[in-house]
Amino acid sequence: MTDRRAVRHRAPVGAPDARTLPHRPEVVVVGGGIAGLTAATGLAERGVAVTVVERQDELGGRVSAWTDRLADGSTVSMSRGFHAFFRQYYNLRALLRRADPGLSRLRPVADYPLVDGEGRRDTFRGLPSTPPWNALAFALRSPTFRVRDLLRLNARAAAPLAAVSVPGTYDRLDDVDAATFLERINFPPAARHLAFEVFSRSFFAPPSEMSAAELATMFHLYFLGSSEGLVFDVPDSAYDTALWEPLRAYLAGLGVRFRTGTEAGVVARDGSRWSVDGLAADGVVLAADVSGLQSIVSASPDLADGDWRSRVLGLRIAPPFLVHRLWLDRPVAPDRPAFLATGGLDPLDNISVLDRYEREAATWAAEHGGSVVELHAYACADEVVALREQLVDRLHRLYPETAGARIVGELVQWRRDCPLFGVGDFARRPRVRTPFDGVVLAGDGIRIDLPVALMERAAATGWHAANCLLARWGLAGHELTTVPVRGRFAPLRALAALGG
Ligand SMILES: Cc1cc2nc3c(=O)[nH]c(=O)nc-3n(C[C@H](O)[C@H](O)[C@H](O)COP(=O)(O)OP(=O)(O)OC[C@H]3O[C@@H](n4cnc5c(N)ncnc54)[C@H](O)[C@@H]3O)c2cc1C
């Protein structure tokens, strides 16, 4: 951590080890994604007996990886696609450090240019890391953002972008959609495409369906609230080898049991305890994705609180996304970046060149004299077959050297399992604590009043879920760390307050 203004949220105090208690608590964690693995870590490190139940055969949830087969019969590593591990993901990094103290399996991506349909290009390379100079420098050198655009910004309406606090920002902006908000502040249309659409689509939603509060929180987390710089890291090999197998070994060393390939169905009361499909426990962490959580709650009449049930069942899921990975018989040009984000080049949202950073892909590329390229399309309206063709067509136009390449193999992930951060949803979102003593929630769709998002929200809710259960048994919790919990600049906070 390099940001001196990052905030440490102190760990709840208590006894260090559950094994000294008269009864050693047992917890079932449902879901082996980031949220569930974080909760399992927080509990097991305090001596709680933990069983993780995961539907898939592998850990990692949406960041899992597995071995797959190409049409020619060869085996390759496949995943749910490129993920950016930002430096200000303090709580996620705390998890990963358990198995890799120096985070040696992460490597920086030096630059991730943004390009739009007109060929305009923004870049994050060489920007100062301290706000507001990072944002100013980005805006001033951007081809889509002129000084006169800066002067035309409606400063009062835009102030919430620089004065984020949670939940205050949601009170002010959650009923507005991101597209309307950007219009209201006079954000230049071209820059909207390039900077903000990329952000909002990375949350799997078109700007017209996404909450402006979520957009502002994101702007704070990634840009104006943090001085970690805009650098992010990526694992240097497939997610299973770089992240989850080492973490599984660490947790197994703490006695955690894993039931992978097992779908949890029903949570039931068992006197003063709980059970998950008959597996008795003193506590339950529900860290399933939105539809998994909804199925469990629907099938569990003992989780009987009408308002809470309707909050869980009311969680919305974003439109589907497509991840299309191609194994090509030719390399892409040497100057192609590891990751390129696109705006206004529908349906393409980004291109990554995996052999630039992932060991398995680099080995394949070296053996075949080729390259491994991945195309993402978020918030999809079209059918998968049409989308694949459009994505490959975009690739050929942006990276013309790929047009003559033969596709040796291709694999596709077409899924719909990311939460939608829709307009007005925040107040109804269920929190980590539930009305049921001993049952807590975690996941990137669960409300926590801290400036966190995506993988970092999954990790933060996971630590918090563990802390809630640990406190119940008088056990010590874990510290959380976040970017500053309010905007860094007092004058802009005052201006935002004036804006109502
Ligand atoms: C293509 C793509 C790109 C992304 N890029 C980024 C990025 O660059 N940066 C970023 O921060 N985030 C990114 N994300 C988001 C990130 O993946 C998620 O925020 C994060 O992984 C969510 O973790 P989670 O633990 O909350 O949920 P999940 O990873 O979904 O874990 C939930 C787990 O619960 C399991 N489960 C569900 N129901 C049951 C049941 N009944 N019984 C047992 N198990 C069950 C599921 O199998 C799953 O493993 C991206 C997501 C996608 C899909």
Higher pLDDT: 106 or 116? It is 106
ipTM over 0.95: yes
- Asked if residue 93 is part of any domain, the answer here is no
- Does any ligand 1 atom lie closer than 6 A to the CB of residue 356? no
Mean pLDDT score of the chain:
91
- Asked if residue 422 is part of any domain, the answer here is no
Q: What is the pLDDT of residue 231?
A: 78
Per-residue pLDDT of 436-462, as tens digits, reads 999 999 999 999 999 999 999 999 999
* Pair 219, 259 in one domain: no
The alpha carbon of 63 and the centre of ligand 1 are apart by a number of angstroms equal to 6
* Pair 309, 449 in one domain: yes
The alpha carbon of 147 and the centre of ligand 1 are apart by a number of angstroms equal to 40
The alpha carbon of 245 and the centre of ligand 1 are apart by a number of angstroms equal to 17
Instruction: Report whether the peptide linkage leading into residue 347 is cis, meaning its omega lies within 30 degrees of zero.
Output: yes
* Pair 410, 432 in one domain: no
* Pair 359, 446 in one domain: no
* Pair 305, 449 in one domain: yes
- Asked if residue 46 is part of any domain, the answer here is yes
Higher pLDDT: 12 or 153? It is 12
- Output the DSSP codes for 244-272: IHHHHHHHHHTT-EEEET-----EEEETT
* Pair 67, 54 in one domain: no
Q: What is the pLDDT of residue 500?
A: 46
The pLDDT > 70 percentage for the chain reads 96
- Asked if residue 211 is part of any domain, the answer here is yes
- Does any ligand 1 atom lie closer than 6 A to the CB of residue 299? no
Q: What is the pLDDT of residue 381?
A: 81
331 token code pair = 């390399």
Per-residue pLDDT of 29-64, as tens digits, reads 999 999 999 999 999 999 999 999 999 999 999 999
Closest residue by CA, ligand 1 atom 21: 62
- Does any ligand 1 atom lie closer than 6 A to the CB of residue 264? yes
* Pair 326, 347 in one domain: yes
* Pair 324, 196 in one domain: no
Whether the pLDDT of residue 312 is over 50: the answer is yes
Angle at 459 between CA 455 and CA 463, to 5 degrees: 170
Identify the domain boundary among 170, 201, 230.
Answer: 230
CATH of the domain at 293: 3.50.50.60
- Does any ligand 1 atom lie closer than 6 A to the CB of residue 443? yes
Using most ligand atoms within 8 A of CB, pick from 62, 92, 233 the residue to mutate for ligand 1.
62
- Does any ligand 1 atom lie closer than 6 A to the CB of residue 31? yes
Domain span at 192: 126-230
Q: What is the DSSP letter of 222?
A: I
Whether the pLDDT of residue 233 is over 80: the answer is yes
Q: How far, in Å, CA of 197 to CA of 363, rounded?
A: 34
Q: What is the pLDDT of residue 497?
A: 63
CATH of the domain at 371: 3.90.660.10
* Pair 201, 262 in one domain: no
* Pair 346, 393 in one domain: yes
Query: 136-145, 359-368, 440-449: which has the minimum mean pLDDT?
Result: 136-145
- Asked if residue 274 is part of any domain, the answer here is yes
Q: How many domains does the chain have?
A: 3
- Asked if residue 118 is part of any domain, the answer here is no
The pLDDT > 90 percentage for the chain reads 71
Identify the domain boundary among 391, 415, 439.
Answer: 415
**CB-CB contact of 342 with 350 (8 Å):** yes
Q: What is the pLDDT of residue 148?
A: 73
Name the helix (H) or strand (E) containing 97.
Answer: helix 90-97
Q: What is the pLDDT of residue 137?
A: 76
What is the band of 491 on the pLDDT scale with cuts at 50, 70, 90? low
